[in-house]
Amino acid sequence: MASSSLQSLFSLFCLALFSLPLIVSSIGINYGQVANNLPPPKNVIPLLKSVGATKVKLYDADPQALRAFAGSGFELTVALGNEYLAQMSDPIKAQGWVKENVQAYLPNTKIVAIVVGNEVLTSNQSALTAALFPAMQSIHGALVDCGLNKQIFVTTAHSLAILDVSYPPSATSFRRDLLGSLTPILDFHVKTGSPILINAYPFFAYEENPKHVSLDFVLFQPNQGFTDPGSNFHYDNMLFAQVDAVYHALDAVGISYKKVPIVVSETGWPSNGDPQEVGATCDNARKYNGNLIKMMMSKKMRTPIRPECDLTIFVFALFNENMKPGPTSERNYGLFNPDGTPVYSLGIKTSSTHSSGSGSSNSTGGSSSGGGGNTGGSSSGGGIYQPVTGNPSPDYMSISSAGVTFSTLHFICCFTLTIFVDI
């Protein structure tokens, strides 16, 4: 009887233990391919697993990548480039795109979202702005026609330049000149239950004003932070303050938008840059991305204004991409070199080894192969893999991702007024 009782107690203990809410890692990685020396998509899966990623965001609907992720368990977000927006206002063309680029790969490839356009509202291109919302409607309508609207959501990504007043977070609002275009999109999010995507880069704030922006505050290092005088919320890192600035802006537009969730579709830090790109160093990139990923792995990501909402974040980016135009930093946001070696140690435990043949058994704990300083990929491994032969979205190369310094300057100038360091 005693043994049976103990066994019953143990069973009840196990049941209670496994009934507790578990903190599950939900790490997203941006997988860009603006390079001529990257491994084929099938070879990137071990790298993604090595950093604990469960979600991947593409900048197109590359067939090779979609086939490679079949059966992998990763949740994929695909993108429709800005150059296609005008065409997608035609419901027939939108349905054709969805059938060819999404439905054809289901259910083996787990596609969960379609990002229609990138940073369109701040592109200063009126034709693109006019085409954005109709394209989102058409793509969503195509999903409805295919019976996929319950499993795949439609959204678009914005830069933080959609904000007007941006400091403190409790006083933020959307730019008045964008409200006419933004409000229908927000209504769309409410109706369909889809999130609003933002690209947020604390790096730009530090780069613009390193004397008055605390490096520890932007790198998730221990710091005194600041308290928002309007909300009395305390912030110890800039990324959460940026996210809450957008939440406050949503609240300011109307109470119906309070339930719209935010996804950070891009954030990261370059490991190398031009001399004037202050802060673009391997050590800072290691701290920013390493601390961020460790935070995502160890606890729920919730900001002060939305303590009930888990924040999904996509780190930019998987690889250094040697064909991206712009400053040196643009080609050095990767966690990995093209040969599969880590650019720097993230300081986290890995779950798998990479297949680059470099001899390292820990893809996130090895030493940097070049200090983040090479702009064309690893000199020792650039020819190991077949080059990517697809035609990457020109929007990704020109106005997307980390290179949109011009579109974040307004936010930076407002936000950095009171984030001081001792000088």
> Which positions are annotated as active-site residues?
119, 266
CA distance 364 to 31: 17
Could you identify the residue written with the tokens 């307004």?
A: 410
CA distance 330 to 61: 22
Nearest 5°: the CA angle 263, 268, 269 is 160
CA distance 28 to 48: 9
Strand 226-227 relative to strand 234-235, pairing: antiparallel
Could you identify the residue written with the tokens 């609907």?
A: 61
**Which helix (H) or strand (E) element contains residue 75?**
strand 75-80
Q: Do 75 and 56 meet the contact criterion of CB atoms below 8 Å apart?
A: yes
Cα dihedral value 368, 370, 374, 378, nearest 10: -80
Quick one: which of 349, 366, 345, 226 has its CA closest to 282? 345
DSSP 369: S
CA distance 293 to 28: 9
State both tokens at 366: 């090895």
- Neighbouring C-beta atoms of residue 336, cutoff 10 Å: 28
Q: Which residues contact 257 (CB under 8 A, 6 or more apart)?
A: 186, 189, 190, 250, 251
Could you give the maximum distance between any two Cα atoms of the chain, in Å? 79
Strand 75-80 relative to strand 111-118, pairing: parallel
CA distance 124 to 109: 35
